[in-house]
Amino acid sequence: MKVLHVTGARPNFPKMAPVEKALRIRDVDQVLVHTGQHFDRNLSSMFFEQLQIPEPDINLGVGGGSHAEQTSKIMSAIEPVMANETPDLVMVYGDVNSTVAATLVAVKMGLRVAHVEAGLRSNDRSMPEEINRLVVDSIADVLFTTSKDASENLGHEGIPAEKIHFVGNPMIDSLLSHRKSFETPDYVSAIKGPYSLVTLHRPANVDRPEDAYELGRMLSGLAEVLPVVFPVHPRSRESLAAHGILDNPNILVTEPMGYLEFMGTMAGARVVVTDSGGVQEETTVLGVPCLTVRPNTERPVTIWAGTNQLVERSAVVDSVRSELSSPRTILGPPELWDGNAGDRIAAHVVGDGDASR
């Protein structure tokens, strides 16, 4: 049996790592394709090193561009790879452009596709990721879900039950297996007392001048309450710098961190402010309060667990003050976020056990 994995962006790598490892233990022939959607070392190659993933067999090097440009470049580049490799199964991860591009090509070539992290829904079609999720889940052959509500979403959309497999969250496998290796950078350790961690990169928060201005007010207010550690995504830096957001002495602006450094910083934070889906999940397992600067989330289980809440930018500072004075009750991680999702996925792929256990 041959499995071809397609990854391309930072959120994909911690999801793929435990699946690749579990299949390797089972001696499955695997081909790793990196589309190059993220090409910054801290967003890409460092993750392979720190998560102990074998170097990609193929790097398509597609780089950036608009959603249409990037998706079309990936489709054109990956088609000959799939034709040459003829895998028995193509595995795609999450909701990035690499995921939808690879799925469209594979299905049109008659190849079976398994989607890891299927069924997540924000019900907000203004999000490009939501369109990617809907397209991939509607045409993939095997749908691995991280939570029961995701499985229910697929059922409501008419996906046959036999395609849906609730296996837990492989990204949490990576967190748990590397937790003892988390590193806090020296420049973060130098902060005296509690600090906040901020990660913001979605276009709705950083692209338009008026949004960047509001973001600057939010960060300045937050920095008066707690020191701010702000790893800036490359696509956000120019917009934020133009509005002086990166010049506040109470905001520690850093380059994107490696996986171990970022997780160490997150684990030590008093509160996290983000618009990232994966960070909502990681903070839930780490028990770190999270404020998600979005009107919705495709990961409601993080809210039900007590760690996450949705806030508007204008409410972030007051919400942080409230958290400091009256901490929330945290219920613990969701069902099957136990470090064994990768093994369940591999068991299903090779048919050597019950993937639901």
- The residues annotated as belonging to the active site are 201
Residue 131 tokens read as 């369109």
Beta bridge partners, 229, equal 197, 252
Pick from 202, 199, 207: nearest CA to 229: 199
Cα R_g (the chain), whole angstroms: 20
Q: What is the DSSP string of 270-317?
A: SEEEE--HHHHHHHHHHT--EEE-SS--S-HHHHHTTSEEE--GGGHH
Residues in the chain: 357
The whole-angstrom separation of Cα 185 and Cα 61 is 29
List C-alpha distances in Å: 257 to 196, 249, 263. Answer: 16, 20, 9
Pick from 277, 249, 266: nearest CA to 183: 266
The whole-angstrom separation of Cα 113 and Cα 126 is 26
SS3 at position 333: coil
Q: What is the DSSP string of 182-244?
A: ----HHHHTS-S--EEEE---HHHHTSHHHHHHHHHHHHHHHHHS-EEEEPPHHHHHHHHTTT
Residues 6 or more apart whose CB falls under 8 angstroms from that of 85 comprise: 2, 4, 31
Per the CB < 8 A criterion, the answer to whether 286 and 306 are in contact is: no
The whole-angstrom separation of Cα 249 and Cα 142 is 49
